Amino acid sequence: MKIAMIGQKGIPAKSGGVERHVEEIAKRLVRAQNSVTVYRRSTYDTERIDNYDGINLKDIKTIDNKNLDAIVYTYRATMDAIKNKFDIIHYHAIGPASLCFIPKYKGIKTVVTVHGLDWQRGKWGKFGKAYLKFGEYVTGKRSDKIITVSENLKGYFIDKYKRNEEDVFFIPNGVNFTEAKNANKIRNFGLKENEYVLFLARLVPEKGAHYLVQAYNKLHTDKKLVIAGGASYTDGYVDRLKKLSQPNKNIIYTGNISGDLLTELYSNCYIYVLPSDIEGMPLTLLEAMSFGKCCLSSDILENTGIIKDENMGETFKRGDVDDLIRKLNFLLDNKQLVSSKGEYSKKIIEKTYNWDNVTESTLNVYRFLTKG
């Protein structure tokens, strides 16, 4: 099959769950003898190459503006994909999916993966939220098939848009099981094994890093707090976050990280914390658990769908800093429990979340659309 991927910022993935998701399934689709083209945005900061692990890369010129970047890129990528007569155009995220109705008029099948209800995210103003809601509507009404990364999202689209069960598929994210690395590069940040709490995600309001900083400032601990990740048109939020952190020299900001440094951060943290208000399916949570780390997350459905019981990790009431403080103190005081929860969660993740299975399930959606 000839498949186009539109919506992601680009690959190779530097940060962001959508980019990693696209990279992992695109690699495997190519290995399964499919032709895959990933459309990248000109604003994506990476080497300009035409091919990556057998994936065709095509850069689309766009505008470096929060409200215009995605839509300009998506329109131009869609027009190019129609011209090149793909069998499937696979849109990622509800914003880019707002244009999925265009290729349908040309007889091209469309699939949309919903990674979350993006209009809920705090970085968007009125125009952005309105457009993303339009994208959700078009996804619900016009896409041939919908893939959601959580059971909760699947139910949402079936109920709200009266889609049939066979039109909406729950296919979770996968995770790569990478061998742990000893603390080496992270020593440049003054970090040692098991001596820091890790937050790793985009620095946007809905990820809840501000809750964690507020809670950490009230703890009495020698363990440091690492905030790893970069802004996504949220420089104002990052400035407020760093101002909130100023009194505490044990809060360390690394910026965007990847490669060996990313692996080291996961491998050597004491616990991983994800205090998010909104998620699709949190890939960073899966990744941390794959390294055998005990995780503490907010109790939203998308997180508790992964941390299914107390043997796998801990949760706190969303947005409740006092409850977050209680759970952090509990885990800081119980080293053996932290270790056992991490080991147990790793076993469960290994059985459940596998990129090969994710790719095969996605390929089955394509086959269903193109059969006959």
Q: Give the amino acid at 16.
A: G
Question: What pLDDT shows up at residue 266?
Answer: 97
Q: Give the amino acid at 181.
A: K
CA-to-CA distance for 127 and 245, rounded, in angstroms?
A: 31
Could you read off the pLDDT of 43-56 as tens digits, one per residue? 887 778 899 999 99
- For the chain, how big is the Rg over CA atoms in Å? 20
Do 121 and 234 share a domain, yes or no?
Answer: no
Taking the CA of residue 220 as centre, how many other CA atoms within 13 Å lie in the half-sphere pointing to its CB?
A: 0
Residue 234 three-state SS: coil
Do 168 and 197 share a domain, yes or no?
Answer: no
Domain-embedded: residue 179: no
Q: Are 298 and 318 in contact (CB under 8 A)?
A: yes
Could you tell me which of 135, 138, 140 has the C-alpha nearest to residue 124? 135
Q: Side by side, which strands form the sheet with 2-6? A: 51-52, 55-60, 35-41, 2-6, 88-92, 109-114, 145-148, 168-170
Do 201 and 277 share a domain, yes or no?
Answer: yes
Domain-embedded: residue 212: yes
Question: What pLDDT shows up at residue 120?
Answer: 77
Angle at 129 between CA 278 and CA 131, to 5 degrees: 130
Could you read off the pLDDT of 83-104 as tens digits, one per residue? 999 999 999 999 999 999 999 8
Q: Are 260 and 191 in contact (CB under 8 A)?
A: no
Least confident of 106-115, 229-238, 318-327: 229-238
Do 214 and 328 share a domain, yes or no?
Answer: yes
Domain-embedded: residue 59: yes
Q: Which domain holds residue 55?
A: 2-174+354-370
Domain-embedded: residue 345: yes
Domain-embedded: residue 13: yes
Could you read off the pLDDT of 157-172 as tens digits, one per residue? 999 999 999 999 999 8
What average pLDDT does the segment 208-218 reach? 97
Domain-embedded: residue 255: yes
Do 44 and 132 share a domain, yes or no?
Answer: yes
Question: What pLDDT shows up at residue 15?
Answer: 67
Question: What pLDDT shows up at residue 277?
Answer: 93
Angle at 169 between CA 164 and CA 170, to 5 degrees: 130
Domain-embedded: residue 198: yes
Do 166 and 45 share a domain, yes or no?
Answer: yes
| Tokens of residue 64, six digits | 């470096």
Tell me the pLDDT band of 264, cut-offs 50, 70 and 90. Answer: very high
Q: How many CB atoms lie within 10 A of CB 206?
A: 18
Do 205 and 335 share a domain, yes or no?
Answer: yes
Tell me the pLDDT band of 180, cut-offs 50, 70 and 90. Answer: very high
Burial of 51 (0-12, 13-18, 19+ CB in 10 A): exposed
Do 138 and 101 share a domain, yes or no?
Answer: yes
Could you tell me which of 19, 27, 38 has the C-alpha nearest to residue 77? 38
Q: Are 37 and 56 in contact (CB under 8 A)?
A: yes
What average pLDDT does the segment 7-15 reach? 86
Tell me the pLDDT band of 283, cut-offs 50, 70 and 90. Answer: confident
Do 210 and 304 share a domain, yes or no?
Answer: yes
Domain-embedded: residue 84: yes
Do 266 and 119 share a domain, yes or no?
Answer: no
CATH code of residue 41: 3.40.50.2000
Do 25 and 63 share a domain, yes or no?
Answer: yes
Q: How many CB atoms lie within 10 A of CB 366?
A: 19
CA dihedral 24, 27, 29, 33 (to 10 degrees): -170
Q: 0.85 exceeded by the pTM?
A: no
Question: What pLDDT shows up at residue 137?
Answer: 96
Share of the chain above pLDDT 70, in %: 99
Question: What pLDDT shows up at residue 371?
Answer: 81
Q: How many domains does the chain have?
A: 2
Residue 8 predicted with pLDDT over 60: yes
Do 16 and 73 share a domain, yes or no?
Answer: yes
Residue 372 predicted with pLDDT over 60: no
